[in-house]
Every structure is written in C-alpha cells, then in structure tokens.
Amino acid sequence: MLTIPIYDTILLPEVTFYFKKEVIDGWDLEEFNVGDIMAFAMLREDIDITETTLEDIYPIGVSARIESIDSEGNVKVRTIERVSILDMTRDKDGTIDAEVEPRAEIADMNEEDKKERFEKLKSKFLKFVQNYQWGLWARGFILQWKNINELACSMTGYYSVTWEEKYELVEVDSESERFKLIEHLSYGFMELADVAEGAELEQQARNESLYREDAIKKQIEILQRELDDMHPENISDVRRFEKEIAESGMNETAEKEARKVLNRMKQEGQDGHEYGMLYDYLDFVTSLSWKNEEYVPIDLEKAEKVLDRDHYGLKKVKERIIQQLAVMALNKKQSGSILLFVGAPGTGKTSIGQSIADALGRKYVRISLGGVRDEAEIRGHRRTYIGAMPGRIMEGMKRSGASNPVMVLDEVDKLVRDYGGDPSSALLEVLDPEQNFSFTDHYMNVPYDLSNVLFVCTANSTDTIPEPLLNRMEIIEFPGYTATEKFQIAKKHLIPKAMKATGIKRKNMTVTDAAVRKIISDYTMESGVRGLKKQIETVMRYGAVQLVKGNNEKLSVKPDNLREFIGHRGINHDIIDKKSIPGVVTGLAWTMAGGEILFIETKTVHGSGKVTITGQLGDVMKESVEIAISLVKDMYPVETRNMKNYDLHIHVPEGAVPKDGPSAGITIITALTSLYTDRAVNPKIAMTGEISLRGNVMPIGGLPEKLMAAVRAGVKTVFIPEKNVEDLEDVADEVKKELNIVPVKSVKEVLSQVF
C-alpha cells in the first residue's frame, strides 16, 4: 500500500485531511486517482521522507481513501481506520510501499456517552473562543467538527506537548482512554491559553483544577527552557543540573539519587536552608566523569622512552612497570597488581607515577595520605553531618576529570589508626580489583566504578602498613642511588631545572663535574636526591645574586670555590678508622635516609660483672647483645672465665640517634670476641647479619643501601648472610666492583676469616 510519512500531525479514523500532491512528486506512480487507498505513517523525528526506513516510523498509522484532487494539486482524503505497519519497502524513485493490517479498536464507550462528552467539549471550545478577537473565525471552524477525532486532529498543532505524547492518541486502542487523553489535552490547552492571557477563571470542577495546575507547570518549563536557550550563561541551577545529569552517563542508581536530590532542591527553593547542601552534592556528582574512557592502545616503546627521559637508573623498577603496561595492553583494560613503591625519600617514587601517566596518555592525580587518621577522609562523610565532604579518593577523581586516571596514593605507611577509625581498612576496598568496581563513598551514597583507575602507592617502609592492605599490593623496592647515578641525575635533571627556576642562562654559569661530585660526597648523605637538589638550588641562588649585582658576567663553580657558594661542609660521614683497636668493629645500618656505617665499641673495666649498654639502643638490639654475650661465653670459656670480675660496657655512636634492629648481631659478637681475645679486626672489614643462639647468621634487609654506605666509608670487605646473596642482584655493579662481598652461614665462619 502506498504510504506517506508525516511528522507532528496526528491523524485518527474518520477525519478529512488535505495535502499537496507535490509532496510525492518524483515518485514513479502510474496513477493517483480518486478512490485509491493509501496509508499515513508517523515519523519519530523530523527527517527527509526520501530517507525514511522502518526504524524511523512509529508502528501504528492510519489508512485513508482519496476523495478528490483539484486542479491546484490539493488532495482530499478521508481516513478509514488505524493500521499496524508490518514492513516497508522503497523503490529506486523513492516510492514507499508498506505492508499493513487493520488494528482493532476497543469499543468501550456507547454512542450516547461519546456524543454527550464530545458536545460538552465542543461547547467548551465555543465558549472559550468568545473571549478572543479571532473567536468569530474559530467558531465557524469548531462548528465543522463532527466527532472527537476531528477535534483532536484539528487541535494537534496547538497542544503544548511533545510529539511522543501526541502519538499516544494514535497508539491507544481503547476509545475511552483516547477520549480521556483528548479531553486532558484540550482542557489543558484552554487553561494554558487563559493563563497566558492573564485571565483568572473560577475553578468549577476538580478535574479542571488539575488541568490548570498541569498547564502552569508546563508553561513555566517551556518558558524557562526557551530562556535558557537564549541566554545559556544565565541558566538556572535546576535546569543546569537537569541537563548535566542527563548528559553525565551516570549508572542507574546514581541517576536516581541525583534526580531525587534535584527534586528536593526544586521544592526547597534558593532561600531554603538546605539549598546550599543540595547544590554542593549535585555539583560534585555531576563534575565526576561517569563514562568509560575510550581505550587508547599502549605503546611500550614510548613508555620506555618516557621513563628513561624522566628518571635515570631504576632499571628493575622500570622493567616491572613495563610488565604491568604490557599486561594492560594485552587485556585492553586496567589489570595486574596494585604497585607499592617502597624506598627512601627522594628516590623518585612519586614522580615516576607522573611518568606512568604521561606514558599512558592519562590524567595524573596525587593524594597524600600522610597523617590521615579518620576513615571518613578516605570514604567520605555522610551527608547527615554539617560540613560533610567527599573522601579523598572521590575528590581526586573529580580533580582528574577522567574515569581512568593514574592515581598515586602517597605515604600509605603514615596512615594513623586511632579512635576515629582505621583509614587503612577503608583502603582495602579501594585497592581490591574484586570490589572497587562499585566503590561507595559515604557522601555520594551511590556506587562508582574505580576499576579503570591505575593505583600506585608509595611508602618509605612497609613496617607500619597493615598486613591485609600489604597483601593487596606488589612491593617494588626503590634502592638508593649510587654516587655515579646521583652525578648523572644532577647533570641531566637537577642542574638544568635549577637554572630554569632561577632564570640563569647556561652561558652565565657552569658547574664543573668535580664540583658536582664534591656536593654529592660532602653535602649529602641520603639515598635519594632531594638533599642534592636543595644544595644545587642553593648554589644557583648564590649565583643569581652575583649575576644581578653585576659582580661577574660568568660564574664557574669548582671544588675550590664551592664553599663560597654553598657554605661550610654540611655532612660528616663516618669513615673507617685508620688503626685497628681490639673490641671495635665496623657494622652496617639502614636508615630512612639510606645506609650508614656504625661502630660497635666494647670495653671492660674492673667491677662486678655488670653489663652497660649505651647509644640509645632499642629492645631488639639489646636482645642481640644478650645473645652475643651468651655465644662468646660458650665459644671462649677460657677467655671469659673472669667476666664476673669485670664490668662490660658496649657503646654504639652516635649517642643521640636511636638505633634498633637485629642486623648488628654479627658485629656485636665479633667485637666481643675481639675484646676478650685481644685481637684487633681490620677496620676495612664491615659486616651485617642477625645471629641466633645456635650461632647461625640469618638474613637482613636494606642490603643495597648498606653496601653503598660501605663503599662511601672506605670499607673493602663485607660479610653478609648467605641467604641475602639473591639481593645482590639489586646492588649496582659499581658498588659490587668496589667490595669483596663474603656470604657466611655461621658466626664461626666470620670469626675464622676475620682473625
């Protein structure tokens, strides 16, 4: 059956309709005669009918018979019945042919009722138009209506409703339901017109009151929408939030909650005491990125170049990061372990997170967790509290403006647990890939997907991180930098950045390699490069003063004039003694700033066998002293037989610095053996290892930092536990070349090689 698509025009059965024949000019129709049957289909959107497909039309249309065609091309048709459009085809010339079948009406109204209600509505229209100048013309138009369908089709262009709502008149099968819809739209139209003209009509019936209220709301909404379109900069808060919620791509739960809050905001009004709180909530949730970001292929070669560009050394760390990115590239999504970077301050843990974001082309956000003691800092405060705020995780997501940023959780080892809650427990859900796809912040009270976020955590030590949280992360150790690595970092990164920050040109100032090495050796002691950076900036600031004063056109920083730029020597590293003394042995220690050597000093004096321990030693280190004394008594009964007649004093400089840990055990027993056997130990020998009562040497931590400290102090031979041999892979080659590293299993092995 020949079919013509129409838009924003309602056709119902038993209605006379006119259209121009030129609408279908160009269609290759053999004849177009009076009496032919055709169909009208309602378009979903206003599109070119020459491009119409079955998906573009609503499933119900009407059939009609051509009654006349005048000389001017006006076609008069009379609609017959509603039809279901089953299929539609288009010829090359654009002619549309549809397969239709009649759609049954549910005749649930008697003729008398229909006539009575139609006449009542018609009379209402006649009375309505009397108040307007155009009422005489409209009266003749209204008197031509013969049934309710003609009324609806004539008024369809005047109803202030959407096209979808108009189509409901065609879609509904029940005559009574259609009658109610037409009455609702008609009364609403008349009430809306009365409101627009400022006429106050007395409400005579409950239904008409409802129609009026509905009409006013629609009028306000339409006018507000038009104003917003004309002046987007003055858009109302409610309208803006409605638009942002619709465009945000929120999940169903979040959208439901947001619209609930928006409705409360409408009712509250701008003068309401809760308006500000509701506004802040909607502003926050609509600022988040709810849509999944489009996948961007990961270029591993680019990632390697970015990591090498921004960070010197850290070979093992970079390899592990590249492995993580390779897994993500294969899975085409965020996957793999949560990385925990552990190392001394200034080793590049935080900044490498920025490099990962650059390599992936993602947004970067850093969240500092140091000193956080309240669970609500992570998970947010409930909105029932005054001054409620979202947690730091969701606040970071808002700042990033993306759903898949690289998020660095800095200083996770400095979370504080007290009566306010345990923030580390709140992190368990954040860092668990099996749970964080529906992370619920207390402030938002709706789930948010964190599964696409690449989390990177940093810490100086794992000792204070709770075991359940630690199990969710893969630990990557950041070893301290060697002197050579620090030199390269200073030349390639720190000096150029410091010059740029102070405005000094390369032509105005040079820093010799020897001066850089002297700064590293005499003015810094940490494993990282933060202290080195500060010292270089001090040099640049002094140089800036000289250049501005005009004292020099070009400055050169050399070892012999370095003190002029940077002041007196800042660091006094412990170095080995030049002569051997019985009872004194060199040990190795790990600190938060890297490795250091320490001296175990022992001495006996006449007394009653009392043992004195000084140097601010912790409980674990004191226990190591007790174990060492027991072993010495057992191994050297003759030499120690007079111990009860002498007091033993054990001291570990520096006295003001607290010290603890079991790794000095082997050093303590060697010092005691040296004291009681009166045999000195070569000061170029150092050692580290925990001891047991059976005389075994057990593994320790922080080996790379300790060996670097040994090289710096001039040590040549280092005894380490045999079980720490695998850790030598993490030690720089230049450090291993400088040392004779001897793995040992027992105390006897050490003593046999030392004496």
- Active site residues per annotation: 663, 706
Joined tokens for residue 454: 């690449």
Q: Which residue has the tokens 């549910």?
A: 106
Helix (H, G, I), strand (E, B) or coil at 7: coil
- Sequence-distant (6+) residues with CB within 8 A of 423 are 369, 372, 373, 374, 375, 377, 378, 415, 416, 417
H helices of 75-147, in order, are: 111-129, 135-143
Sign for the pseudo-dihedral over CA of 13, 19, 21, 26? negative
* Contact yes or no for 97/162 (Cβ under 8 A): no
- Sequence-distant (6+) residues with CB within 8 A of 17 are 11, 40, 64, 76, 77, 78, 79, 153
The secondary element (H helix, E strand) that includes residue 281 is helix 275-287
Distance CA 212, CA 688 (A): 90
Distance CA 651, CA 667 (A): 12
Distance CA 528, CA 50 (A): 72
DSSP string, 321-381: HHHHHHHHHHHTSS-SPEEEEEE-TTSSHHHHHHHHHHHHT--EEEEE-TT---HHHHH--
Phi then psi for 159, rounded to 5 degrees?
-70, 130
Largest CA distance in the chain: 138
Distance CA 596, CA 706 (A): 6
Distance CA 300, CA 68 (A): 74
Best CA proximity match to 688, nearest among 699, 679, 680: 699
Best CA proximity match to 724, nearest among 749, 751, 706, 748: 706
Phi then psi for 573, rounded to 5 degrees?
-75, 145
Strand 447-448 versus strand 439-440 pairing type: antiparallel
Distance CA 66, CA 300 (A): 70
* Contact yes or no for 490/529 (Cβ under 8 A): yes
- The DSSP 8-state label assigned to residue 85 in this structure reads E
What is the C-alpha R_g of the chain?
Answer: 43
Q: Is 505 exposed, middle or buried (0-12, 13-18, 19+ CB in 10 A)?
A: exposed
Distance CA 262, CA 562 (A): 66
**C-alpha distances in Å from residue 165, one per residue of 172, 219, 343, 505, 712:** 11, 16, 65, 72, 83
Helix (H, G, I), strand (E, B) or coil at 563: helix
- The DSSP 8-state label assigned to residue 479 in this structure reads P
- The DSSP 8-state label assigned to residue 644 in this structure reads G
The secondary element (H helix, E strand) that includes residue 408 is strand 406-410
Distance CA 623, CA 634 (A): 17
* Contact yes or no for 493/314 (Cβ under 8 A): no
Best CA proximity match to 189, nearest among 226, 140, 138, 143: 138
* Contact yes or no for 117/103 (Cβ under 8 A): no
Helix (H, G, I), strand (E, B) or coil at 283: helix
- Distance separating the N- and C-terminal Cα atoms of the chain: 112
* Contact yes or no for 662/624 (Cβ under 8 A): yes
